[in-house]
Structure 1
Amino acid sequence: MDLVALVTADQQLFIYRLNGQRVYGAIQKADNRGVQSIRWKPNGQLLAIAWSDGSVRLVSPESCKIVLQFSTGEAIEGVTCMGWATNSIRRSGSSSFNAGAKSLGALLSANRDLSGEKVPMDLPQDLSLIDIEISLPKLSVLAAGGNSEDVFSSRSSLDALFRLFDPKDNSSVNVMVVGTKNGNIHLSIYDSFEVGTFVSPVTIDGVPCHLIRHAAHEQFSTHVLLLEQPKASGLLYFVPMDLRFISASSEYLSLLASRSTALNNLLRYIRQVQMLMINEWKVTQELPSRFIRNINKTLEEKGHGDIVQALYHSVATGHTFPAVREWLVDELSERGHKRWDKAVTAGLENLRRLVHENMLPALERCSIILSRFLGIVKFQGSDSATGFTSQQISLIMDTVACLHLVSSKILIQVIDELELFGSFSAWLRFEIDRLASDSSATPNEDTAEKEASIDHSKVLLYLQTVMTSSPLSLYLNNTVSEEDKDNWNHSKYGPPMFELLDAQILKREQGRSYLRSLLRIDLWCDLLEKQAHVIFNQIAEADRRNVLFGEAQCIGPVENGGPVDVRISRNDSGLCQSHTAFVPKGSSSVVQVARVLLSIENGISSLHRSDFSEVQLGDGQIRDIKFLDDRIVLAFA
């Protein structure tokens, strides 16, 4: 669909269809921070919005939600330019001399005898691009939490965030360049995979020049940057930026970057699920704890122990202490029992759904992505430029396995507690009704039938093992003692921990001493995030080392905030040529065009030639300049 994005004078951003229907609207952020640049993704699936505080939001017009958000740095004074372009990835090795060969998918879909066909020359790459995620069920949406992670609360935004990797995208990479008033240049690929922030390559008298225009061409890994002196002579500088990680790095760049982005989004999803799990667990504890706290005080004063012992006595003997009877009939009553039953049952049901429908499927997807990473690094060898090792990936996969084990134990315990609480709740309601009625009356058939339907062994088991000391607290309690913290810190930096965790769980089940902190799901999520971000940083560092800035060329003075535009094209000789059109300082009716030819070898550019020309357009004042295509430039007076 055709969409138009615009920013109004009062800093409101809107997206409209061509018929005038509004699709999306964003009001001004707090502290009078406004929109300073907008840019569509080359395929039109996302809109990037750069705010004056340096934050960038990626909005999906399909779901009208913020899909991603990142910051270009700290203490940012404003954004001066934002570009979003697509570059083709040139293949090395077997892929280059076998460009005419069909892919594995094309051969398998041909439905004919393959005996006469040549074997695909790039079989490892074709195998790596087979996407088994498409056969997995979609991740389930989460309940809205009133924060930035509400992107997980709708089907459309979740689908936009977890787009399947298209093998066609393996031949291209999306690059976003954001320039700030501080003189920094922030680089990211695949929507949100941050390569890093670079200091301006041009500094005049200790003051960095800031980026005002960016241009790229699909066939060249070299981008063109135009930088301007802030509040000075207004000199315009031309700087080539060579992205050698596109031209010279691994042919699995697209797969690594896109799956790293997907893994990062999965970590956000897992963290949100973990927080919701803890919240649901707290819901099951708050109301019953208040009821139990009140009666425990009374029983302690009368010397009858606690409520667990008193109720156990009632189930085993049929006798109820007067204080417990008063509590059941007068304080708890039918209304209180309904609230108790609803709080615990609904909380446990939600907890079961979160583990079964959200956490475990997300962990399975993490395992698939990590197995791809492991396959790539093993195939390429230890000297590859991927930025990580097979040992690092194996450790993360071990952490995912530990988190899967903990989640499975939680699910089993939740199912058991639901069954036990069902019996306890039925017995508790029966006791309330029995004690509230005339105790001297002879029990009728209905009463006897209700009592016979209650499994008293499960009621006793619930009182013994769950009512005030649920095993779920070992997994979902988010408070940790210093001793537990020391044990965890000592354990997590050692060898793979799955066997250690499994042994600790077995010790707990056997009633032996064990490391309680190893069962905490939030600590496992923390460890997974730390390990994954180490990998992300290493991949980004490998890419950062392959970002080179060429020699700056001064192409003339321009009016402060005056019209400027730049475009890259390929000339007849195959050279990269850029045209920069601008209005020279003091000549408001003149358009000056600077042509710079760059020769690119192995992803590194060098100046080949530069030419200048200008056109006098009468006596008017030129308001804006835009390149229509590679041959025509429009000047608006």
Structure 2
Amino acid sequence: MARNAQPSLPLISEKVFSGSTKPASSDLVAYCDAHDLIAIAAETHDVVVYRITGHPAFAIKRRNGEAEVTALEWKHDGSVLAVGWSDGTYGLYSGENGRLLSQGSVRGGARERAWTLSLAPDYGDDEDEDAGPVVTRFGWEWHVTSLSSKSRHAAGNLDTQRSTEAWCEEKHLDVDTGEYVDHATVDGRETIADLSAAVATLDVTQVLPRLSAIPSHGLRSGPDGSKFGTQATTDSVFAAPTKKSLHVDALFVCSSEGSVQVLQDETVRIGTASVGGWKPLLHASHEKTSCHSILSLDEGGALHASFMELPLDTLGGPLLDVIATNTKRIQNLLAYITQTVRCIQHDFTAGLQFPARIMTNMNTELAEKQEGDVITNLYHLAMTSDFTPTMLEWLVDIVKETNHKRWDQAVNAMYANIQNHIFFNLMPALNRLSIATTTLRGHARFHEGTSKFEVAPEVLTYMLEGIDSLRLVAHKIQLIIMTEHRQFRAFSKWLRVMIEIGVAGPGSKGAIETEEREVPNFDYPLLLAYLKDTMTCSLLTRYIAELPDLGVLSSASQDAEFFALPLIARMGYDRTREALGLVSELKSDQELVWKEVPHEPGALVSLPALTGYLAANVRVAVDRITGWQSKMLVAPASVPIGAPPEAIVLDMHMVVDADALSTSSIIRLLMMPPETRQQLLLYSIACPPAGAGISNGEQPIVLDTDHEVLDAKFSGPRDCLLLIRNEQGQYAVVSFALPFPPQHVGGDDVGERTMIHAFPVDSGFTPEKLVIGGRTGKTVCLVFGNEGREWKALDLEPMPDVSGDLVSTDDFRGDEDSMRME
């Protein structure tokens, strides 16, 4: 390469935005290493996800137009994008299309869900505009537990359902000796442990048919609608966990008030810890260590590094694996059941809208003419075949063949949809929920009185009562649908013939022929029963329709207050069974009156109310499990960092020193002193229990850069990338060698600088911020500039191959022509 030729990395893409993304002043840019997607907080408060080529993939829109993005982070495999909002909520969105998977909040006050029987979906809106904590940082990590090689072998095969005899006869590879051995030759205690782990994690639901997608038929139903709207998304929600007892999928949600929520498998909440009430700035972790590090800023402007140790062997063990799997399954199944009940309500209401509108208009006309109501007239017509002028006009001009067809399709679709929802969605989900709940209750009973699983079995028993109550009502609805649907088909057939007779003219030859041909085929008992009992008041109403004001009357702020309400205290399987017996003796227009349940006894047989009751019991059970799991979290240990006041924090990462006697983790913090931009401060801090305090005392390693540093990011354990500018205003990306192992200070290679890319001065691009991402074989450096309105994506993979040919930063002093790319 010529002396004046400036180095350049391959340009993957460049993108110019119409609005500002503000990456230079915030960390609201997240790079997906697995799929090369870039999530950016746009000026419109939305999150836009772009492909590496610059083409938009999808957008995440906030329904609350005033909320702004406060944090962004991709999951390690790119399947989920975590987004924090300024109203204290956060959402987990699909990395494929941006649909909302789940949501939570870091505010325990106004944003806390009310205890109510209402099934109104939560769209993620927050009407509370008061200031409060917000999410400042997410932390994903896919941890590998420290199981032995033999335990790893057993755990890695738990997904294959085997008999005990097959397990005993199986051989496995002993990695210590490199030979295949029988289980009988392994230490007895490990053999029993492996067998007990295989039995404990045996998943009987794998032999069950997969749950079907829930067709919403036009219902706007919040995040659950998209979660279960297609078979592919439904399968992804209920996908069987793989590689059991080997990995722990942890999510850290850090809030501005210093609290840290720890979740497993994205939705199973382990507990909440505090980092001293300081504002978290950065998070660092490594898959091979259980320590998570959080850099926080206190009120006085001092920096602190907090270390939180996760009990990986416990969280990844058989018991916790079963509890976490079934807890997540219970939450997903509850959402599935709730969405099914919403769809049943929607189908019931939508199916009766058109017939109700036609009959209401006819009743109004009959009332004006003082000729009774439509039911009386239809009953008279069915019994006598005598058309009154008003009924003849109504059948021929209003109902006619077109509207009769719409009527027939609407009601038939209503009954068919509700029946399918119960048979294909609700009942299978209830069965799976029973299995998951029974599994947890079995462990609760087995470990009762110990600290291994401190959840009262009665909490899960109440859940089973709610499940059984729903199952009873669902069976009753199926029987009613079978009866009413037969009645309606008889009525629809008779109404079609009456329209034909009316069009031909009563008493005409065509009408008489039609009567002779069709009338003998009518099922009059079903027809008259439909006109008398079902046409205006279906028996399904008391089981499906939302009870008036029930959500308001049952609303409470705490679980004790909610379950102390007279109505909630009387709900349960036995009461539902008794109520169904009483209801069967009532007519469709009669209300259930029961002295033992004086207020709203109809809730005992109401599908929405029982679903709300089940949801409340699930919430209590999950809270109890979370409370028990939170006891595993050890209070974070904090280390003050003696950084200069107002020092600029650039980046933090965690490295594992495998050269040490025992693998230890160390966080490295890259900062810039406030008085100069030509130096970098590199702090190395050992994570407990490997050590405490800064490795080199309170003095960081000072790295001289010779040029003004605009931004710097770690690009690996041995180097970092710097975005620099010289005195002439020329910009470049420089690779800066770091000491490795992290504790090492000396060495000729430390501080070696290599310029790997120079920006042409006449390009009109002013670099401001670096974002590094990618994976082995495809590492990318995103350079944002021009006030966040443009990016340039540079391919870093050629860097190791051409490092010997690249010029040093001393060559970064030529004239403007030498800065142009070849």
TM-score w.r.t. length of structure 1 = 0.86
Note if 1:607 corresponds to 2:684: no
CA contact (8 A) 2:58 2:97 kept: no
Q: Bigger relative contact order, structure 1 or 2, given CA contacts below 8 A and separation 6+?
A: 2
Whole-angstrom CA distance in 1 between matches of 2:52 and 2:166: 43
CA contact (8 A) 1:50 1:57 kept: yes
Whole-angstrom CA distance in 2 between matches of 1:599 and 1:480: 57
| Alignment correspondent of 1:228 | 297
| Alignment correspondent of 1:114 | 169
Q: Secondary structure at the match of 2:519?
A: helix
Of residues 609, 624, 642, the one that matches 1:555 is 642
Shift of residue 625 of structure 1? 3.5
Q: Secondary structure at the match of 1:582?
A: strand
Whole-angstrom CA distance in 1 between matches of 2:153 and 2:549: 63
Note if 1:500 corresponds to 2:543: no
Deviates more, 1:258-267 or 1:507-516: 507-516
Q: Secondary structure at the match of 1:556?
A: coil
Shift of residue 427 of structure 1? 0.6
CA contact (8 A) 1:24 1:61 kept: no
- Unaligned stretches of 5+ in structure 2? 1-33, 112-130, 171-181, 185-190, 555-562, 587-591, 595-600, 725-822
Of residues 400, 421, 425, the one that matches 2:488 is 421
| Alignment correspondent of 1:3 | 36
Amino acid at match of 2:213: S
Shift of residue 179 of structure 1? 2.8
Q: Secondary structure at the match of 1:557?
A: coil
CA contact (8 A) 1:550 1:606 kept: no
Structure with the larger helix share = 1
CA contact (8 A) 1:65 1:157 kept: no
Report 1:466-545 matches (<5 A): 466-480=534-548, 489-490=565-566, 492-494=568-570, 497-511=572-586, 515-545=601-631
Whole-angstrom CA distance in 1 between matches of 2:152 and 2:316: 18
**C-alpha distance 263-582 of structure 1, shift in aligned 2 (>3 A):** same
CA contact (8 A) 1:564 1:583 kept: no
Of residues 133, 138, 141, the one that matches 2:205 is 133
Whole-angstrom CA distance in 2 between matches of 1:564 and 1:269: 41
Report 1:145-160 matches (<5 A): 145-146=219-220, 147-151=222-226, 152-160=228-236
Whole-angstrom CA distance in 2 between matches of 1:265 and 1:463: 42
Cα RMSD of the aligned pairs, angstroms, is 3.6
CA contact (8 A) 1:101 1:120 kept: no
Whole-angstrom CA distance in 2 between matches of 1:456 and 1:342: 22
CA contact (8 A) 1:36 1:50 kept: yes
- Unaligned stretches of 5+ in structure 1? 202-207
Amino acid at match of 2:602: R
Note if 1:370 corresponds to 2:457: no
Whole-angstrom CA distance in 1 between matches of 2:35 and 2:205: 30
Whole-angstrom CA distance in 2 between matches of 1:127 and 1:591: 55
| Alignment correspondent of 2:254 | 179
Q: Deviations over 1:306-339 (max 9, x none)?
A: 4333322322333344443443334433333233
Q: Secondary structure at the match of 1:38?
A: strand
Shift of residue 537 of structure 1? 1.3
Deviates more, 1:12-21 or 1:276-285: 12-21
| Alignment correspondent of 1:204 | none
Note if 1:450 corresponds to 2:518: yes
Q: Secondary structure at the match of 1:24?
A: strand
Whole-angstrom CA distance in 1 between matches of 2:35 and 2:64: 31
Q: Deviations over 1:555-604 (max 9, x none)?
A: 3236455313131424513244333332233243323233333443xxxx
Whole-angstrom CA distance in 1 between matches of 2:406 and 2:496: 12
Report 1:192-207 matches (<5 A): 192-195=267-270, 197-201=272-276
Report 1:86-105 matches (<5 A): 86-89=142-145
Whole-angstrom CA distance in 2 between matches of 1:28 and 1:560: 34
Shift of residue 344 of structure 1? 1.6
CA contact (8 A) 2:158 2:244 kept: no
Shift of residue 539 of structure 1? 1.8
Shift of residue 273 of structure 1? 1.9
Q: Deviations over 1:79-124 (max 9, x none)?
A: 4322211234457xxx999667676667949979829643653334
CA contact (8 A) 1:89 1:251 kept: no
Whole-angstrom CA distance in 2 between matches of 1:81 and 1:405: 46
Deviates more, 1:571-580 or 1:459-468: 571-580
| Alignment correspondent of 2:667 | 578
Q: Secondary structure at the match of 1:358?
A: helix
Whole-angstrom CA distance in 1 between matches of 2:257 and 2:70: 14
Amino acid at match of 2:644: P
**C-alpha distance 52-620 of structure 1, shift in aligned 2 (>3 A):** farther
Note if 1:279 corresponds to 2:373: no
**C-alpha distance 68-386 of structure 1, shift in aligned 2 (>3 A):** same
Amino acid at match of 2:200: S
- Between structure 1 and structure 2, the one with the greater Rg is 2
CA contact (8 A) 1:83 1:176 kept: yes
What is the aligned length? 620
| Alignment correspondent of 1:214 | 283
Note if 1:569 corresponds to 2:656: yes
Amino acid at match of 1:145: L
Whole-angstrom CA distance in 1 between matches of 2:101 and 2:38: 17
Shift of residue 16 of structure 1? 4.4
| Alignment correspondent of 1:62 | 96
Whole-angstrom CA distance in 2 between matches of 1:267 and 1:607: 45
Q: Secondary structure at the match of 1:610?
A: coil
Shift of residue 478 of structure 1? 0.9
CA contact (8 A) 2:106 2:134 kept: no
TM-score w.r.t. length of structure 2 = 0.68
Shift of residue 467 of structure 1? 0.9
Amino acid at match of 2:140: W
| Alignment correspondent of 2:738 | none
Shift of residue 246 of structure 1? 6.3
Whole-angstrom CA distance in 1 between matches of 2:332 and 2:70: 26
Whole-angstrom CA distance in 1 between matches of 2:418 and 2:437: 27
Amino acid at match of 1:536: V
Whole-angstrom CA distance in 1 between matches of 2:231 and 2:293: 39
Q: Deviations over 1:515-552 (max 9, x none)?
A: 43211111111111111111111222223333312143
Note if 1:617 corresponds to 2:672: no
Q: Deviations over 1:384-409 (max 9, x none)?
A: 44342222112101211211221222
Note if 1:82 corresponds to 2:150: no
**C-alpha distance 268-280 of structure 1, shift in aligned 2 (>3 A):** same
| Alignment correspondent of 2:58 | 24
CA contact (8 A) 1:377 1:384 kept: no
Whole-angstrom CA distance in 2 between matches of 1:295 and 1:599: 80
Whole-angstrom CA distance in 2 between matches of 1:304 and 1:402: 45
| Alignment correspondent of 1:189 | 264
